[in-house]
């Protein structure tokens, strides 16, 4: 379809939790809580709303059914119907509600496949006005009159939860709409799961990594201006999409595997590691950066649910409702990244991700709980005010998140994608759902002058015999 969405008159309301006495939350201590304190992982995350779009097959369920299901899901996930505390870093559980918009789009056709996010697609997301800062989640359901399919636009405050928890909530909404039990059962305890050790053991440097000083913040911005933002290149940020097919990924992985090494040293690399390394290199080349002294980093979100253990559970429960994310940060000089064999970059990415392990997560908990953050006036390095990341890159992978539970009666989404988020250097990785081809879509935000060079680098990958494999855009 083209970019001409026409949103027709819609309904807008605040949907509040609907309790019936059978909710799991009603049977837990969470039912009587007035507030939930933000965890150390929450407070270190981005203080911004993240937009996501999900597209579903027809027919769209009746609006009243979707609204009732949302109210039931909110009874299990009270955080989203709450508000941010004003005097303390907490979520106030006041059941104030979630903004719920229902709209219709008189468009030629709903998008049938993933595509580049554009500003025009913002009409599929709930609108945020100046007095809406306290809303933790906003939802819009848009029905396409031409084909009967529908889209769910979601905007959530990242301080409250990470992608895994948000997808669990979306699945709970679908389950409640279909009248089936909610699974996994949400776990709201943000305190006992992440208690610091006694005595604390800070084994890694977290200042300058998860936290920074105000002076570091200003210095970082100045460095970006000096090295990157030349006047002739100060143009608009666009989001372009690349489709890594299963064959493409197989080629990438086979090229980087150390097949010639003796068995003890032989190893292979994951899809994430290979795709991230390739994108990091192509983005850096497209930016026109060079120099052996200029350091570039790629910040890769790492889900701690399968890494950190707690005193009361073998693992962080799958239904945990908050953030459990830190970032692996491999670094290379620009010249090494763009000139050395790609396998070296893949290995750097692999080591950094592997190093963001339970020891690292536990060290972070001890550091963030020690009081030094407040004493030194440190602020999160995850800065929503940054709109240009060059020479760095940030990668958020949605691959492997529990999307198939998001079923409102017509099946899981045909596809989903990030909303329009024009932050230069941000990359979202999304799995290909249609046909289960095992592919990955990469949504990459770059200045418009860099897009062609990025495509030239990214769309072809050499085979061992000199042939090339095309990446579909």
Task: Give the active site residue among 42, 49, 158, 162.
Answer: 158
The Cα-based distances of 456 to 240, 282, 344, 460 in angstroms read 13, 9, 21, 7
> Which backbone phi and psi does 34 adopt, to 5 degrees?
-90, -25
The Cα-based distances of 372 to 40, 376, 410 in angstroms read 13, 6, 50
Residues 6+ positions from 228 with CB-CB distance below 8 Å: 287, 289, 388, 390, 391
DSSP helix/strand/coil, 431: strand
Positions of E strands within 311-389: 325-328, 331-333, 379-380
Tokens 């059941």, located at residue? 95
Q: What angle do CA 316, 99, 433 make, to 5 degrees?
A: 55
d(CA 208, CA 250): 36
Beta bridge partners of 444: 240, 427
Burial of 243 (0-12, 13-18, 19+ CB in 10 A): middle
Tokens 């970059």, located at residue? 345
Give the closest residue to 320 by CA, choosing from 310, 329, 330. 310
Whether 224 and 388 have beta carbons less than 8 Å apart is answered as: yes
d(CA 209, CA 173): 36
- Other Cβ atoms closer than 10 A to 234: 12
Whether 93 and 33 have beta carbons less than 8 Å apart is answered as: yes
> Which backbone phi and psi does 456 adopt, to 5 degrees?
-60, -40
As given in the structure block, the two tokens for residue 118 are: 């554009």
221: left (phi over 0), alpha (psi -120 to 50) or beta: alpha
Residues 6+ positions from 444 with CB-CB distance below 8 Å: 239, 240, 241, 242, 279, 283, 426, 427, 454
Whether 79 and 91 have beta carbons less than 8 Å apart is answered as: yes
In what order do the strands lie in the sheet containing 98-105? 11-15, 98-105, 137-144, 150-157, 49-56, 415-418
As given in the structure block, the two tokens for residue 308 are: 């950190």
Concerning whether 407 is annotated as a catalytic residue, the answer is: yes
Whether 294 and 161 have beta carbons less than 8 Å apart is answered as: no
Catalytic center residues: 158, 407
């Amino acid at each position: 379809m083209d970019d001409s969405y026409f949103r027709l008159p819609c309904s807008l309301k605040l949907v509040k939790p609907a309790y019936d006495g059978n909710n799991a939350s009603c049977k837990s201590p969470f039912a009587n809580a007035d507030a939930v304190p933000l965890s150390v992982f929450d407070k270190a995350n981005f203080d911004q709303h993240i937009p996501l779009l999900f597209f579903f097959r027809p027919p769209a369920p009746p609006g009243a059914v979707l609204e009732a299901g949302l109210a039931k899901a909110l009874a299990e996930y009270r955080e989203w119907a709450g508000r941010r505390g004003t005097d303390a870093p907490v979520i106030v559980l006041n059941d104030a509600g979630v903004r719920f918009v229902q709209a219709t789009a008189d468009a030629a056709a709903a998008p049938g496949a993933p595509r580049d996010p554009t500003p025009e697609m913002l009409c599929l997301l709930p609108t945020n006005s100046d007095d809406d800062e306290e809303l933790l989640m906003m939802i819009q359901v848009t029905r396409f009159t031409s084909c009967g399919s529908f889209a769910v636009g979601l905007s959530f405050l990242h301080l409250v939860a990470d992608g895994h928890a948000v997808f669990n909530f979306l699945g709970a909404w679908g389950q409640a709409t279909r009248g089936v039990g909610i699974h996994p059962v949400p776990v709201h305890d943000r305190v006992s799961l992440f208690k610091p050790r006694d005595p604390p053991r800070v084994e890694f440097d977290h200042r300058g990594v998860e936290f920074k000083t105000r002076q570091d913040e200003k210095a970082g911005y100045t460095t970006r201006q000096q090295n990157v933002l030349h006047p002739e290149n100060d143009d608009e940020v666009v989001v372009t999409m690349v489709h890594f097919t299963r064959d493409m990924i197989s080629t990438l992985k086979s090229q980087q595997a150390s097949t010639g090494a003796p068995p003890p040293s032989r190893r292979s690399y994951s899809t994430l590691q290979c795709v991230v390394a390739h994108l990091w290199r192509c983005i850096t080349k497209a930016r026109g950066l060079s120099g052996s002294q200029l350091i570039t980093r790629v910040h890769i979100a790492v889900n701690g649910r399968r890494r950190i253990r707690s005193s009361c559970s073998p693992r962080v429960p799958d239904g945990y409702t908050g953030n459990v994310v830190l970032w692996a940060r491999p670094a290379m000089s620009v010249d090494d990244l763009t000139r050395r064999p790609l396998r070296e970059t893949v290995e750097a990415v692999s080591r950094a991700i592997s190093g963001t392990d339970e020891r690292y997560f536990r060290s972070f908990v001890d550091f963030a709980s020690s009081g030094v953050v407040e004493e030194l006036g440190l602020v999160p390095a995850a800065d929503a005010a940054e709109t240009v990341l060059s020479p760095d890159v940030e990668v958020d992978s949605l691959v492997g998140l529990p999307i198939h539970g998001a079923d409102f009666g017509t099946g899981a989404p045909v596809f989903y994608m990030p909303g329009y988020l024009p932050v230069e250097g941000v990359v979202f990785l999304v799995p290909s759902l249609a046909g289960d081809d095992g592919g990955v879509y990469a949504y990459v935000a770059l200045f418009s002058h860099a897009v062609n060079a990025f495509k030239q680098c990214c769309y072809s990958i050499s085979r061992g015999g000199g042939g090339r494999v095309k990446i579909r855009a």
